[in-house]
């Protein structure tokens, strides 16, 4: 009870701070990629209660050409105040003039994990050689169409010397969570950010990739250039980056980045 009381107190203080810069309640439109979705869904109601703002959310990958991909949504003119996505993809949008300069805030680091269908045997992934053996032994492999999948398919396979062996059995999964493909039995091994695997039922997370193969993705937030509610958007980003949100981020498999820290 004491911890929950302290958390409520922290949120109350934070709400007062956030409201100090907002004259009235606003509708904040957010585009967010999968890596932060579980934590975000838990935190948004707290933000809404603390500030009176209403958050409207569109979900999609940080990159790619699917209809829901954030760059595609922006290109077709969908409204947005806050963009929460892979950091380097957000930087690309900033270079295109679609993100307000200097609004970028780094939120969390996210490691890649490996998943199997619940109840099946878990392969050894304790070293690069072990991961290589597991990949060669698996009949089907799935990876995402976002940052983790780009790394797995274009760098990790080559680093392990098995790029050719993976061509016919590893496939990119557009838009759909990789964990769902694994849960349905359509892939023996799935690779995606742990924070995106954790919410999926019907899978077991074997663990993170070993250090020598791991690729940490930084997720960042920024204010869209087309934003009609930039102040309310900044308040949301400030909340997501606050210590009050940290425990929820950690619970979902993310590593919060302290304000002002470098990576």
pLDDT confidence tier of residue 134, bands split at 50, 70 and 90: very high
**CATH 3.40.190.10 domain range(s) in the chain:** 2-109+218-256, 112-208
What helix, strand, coil percent values describe the chain, rounded to 5? 40, 20, 35
| pLDDT average, residue stretch 236-260 | 93
The predicted pLDDT at position 262 comes to 46
Which CATH architecture fits 112-208?
3-Layer(aba) Sandwich (3.40)
Q: How confident is the model at residue 15 (pLDDT cuts 50, 70, 90)?
A: low
pLDDT(22) > 50: no
65-69, 110-114, 117-121: segment of lowest average pLDDT? 65-69
Residue 20 is predicted with a pLDDT of: 47
Count CB atoms within 10 A of the CB of residue 45.
10
Mean predicted confidence (pLDDT) in 120-135: 98
Residue 106 scores a pLDDT above 60: yes
pTM over 0.85: no
Question: Residues 187-200: pLDDT tens digits?
Answer: 999 999 999 999 99
DSSP 229: -
Round the average pLDDT of the chain to a whole number and report it: 91
Q: Is it the case that residue 236 has pLDDT exceeding 60?
A: yes
Residue 101's pLDDT band (boundaries 50, 70, 90)?
confident
Beta-bridge partners for 205: 115
Enumerate helices (H) and strands (E) in the chain, giving the number of each. 12, 11
pLDDT for residue 75 is more than 80: yes
> Hey, what's the torsion of the CAs at 110, 113, 119, 122, to 10 degrees?
-150
User: Beta partners for 218?
Assistant: 109
CATH number for region 2-109+218-256: 3.40.190.10
Least confident interval from 22-31, 34-43, 68-77, 155-164: 22-31
Half-sphere exposure of 153 (CA within 13 A, CB side): 19
Q: How far apart are CA 63 and CA 153, in angstroms?
A: 15
Pairing of strands 170-173, 141-144: parallel
| Strand ranges in 188-261 using DSSP code E only, listed in sequence order | 189-193, 203-208, 217-223, 255-256
Closest CA to 132 of 163, 168, 169: 163
pLDDT value for 145? 87
Mean pLDDT (whole number) for 214-220: 95
pLDDT value for 261: 58
Q: Phi/psi of residue 143, each to 5°?
A: -140, 160
Q: How far apart are CA 142 and CA 197, in angstroms?
A: 12
């Amino acid at each position: 009870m004491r911890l929950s009381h302290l958390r409520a107190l922290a949120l109350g203080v934070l709400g007062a701070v956030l409201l100090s810069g907002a004259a009235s309640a606003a509708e904040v439109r957010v585009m967010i990629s999968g890596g932060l979705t579980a934590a975000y869904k838990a935190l948004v109601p707290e933000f809404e209660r603390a500030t009176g703002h209403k958050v409207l959310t569109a979900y999609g990958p940080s990159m790619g050409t699917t209809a829901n991909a954030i760059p595609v949504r922006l290109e077709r003119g969908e409204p947005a105040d806050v963009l929460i996505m892979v950091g380097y993809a957000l930087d690309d949008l900033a270079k295109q003039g679609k993100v307000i300069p200097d609004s970028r805030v780094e939120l969390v680091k996210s490691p890649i994990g490996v998943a199997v269908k619940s109840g099946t045997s878990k392969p050894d992934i304790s070293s690069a050689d072990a991961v290589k053996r597991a990949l060669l032994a698996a009949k089907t492999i799935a990876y995402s169409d976002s940052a983790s999948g780009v790394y797995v398919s274009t760098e990790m396979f080559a680093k392990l010397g098995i790029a050719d062996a993976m061509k016919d059995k590893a496939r990119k999964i557009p838009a759909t969570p990789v964990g769902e493909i694994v849960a349905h039995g359509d892939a023996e091994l799935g690779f995606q950010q742990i924070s995106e695997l954790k919410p999926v039922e019907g899978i077991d997370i074997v663990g993170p990739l070993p250090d020598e193969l791991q690729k940490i993705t930084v997720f960042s937030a920024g204010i869209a250039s087309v934003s009609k509610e930039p102040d309310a958007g900044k308040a949301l980003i400030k909340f997501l980056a606050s210590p009050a949100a940290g425990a929820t981020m950690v619970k979902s498999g993310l590593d919060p980045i302290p304000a002002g820290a470098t990576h």
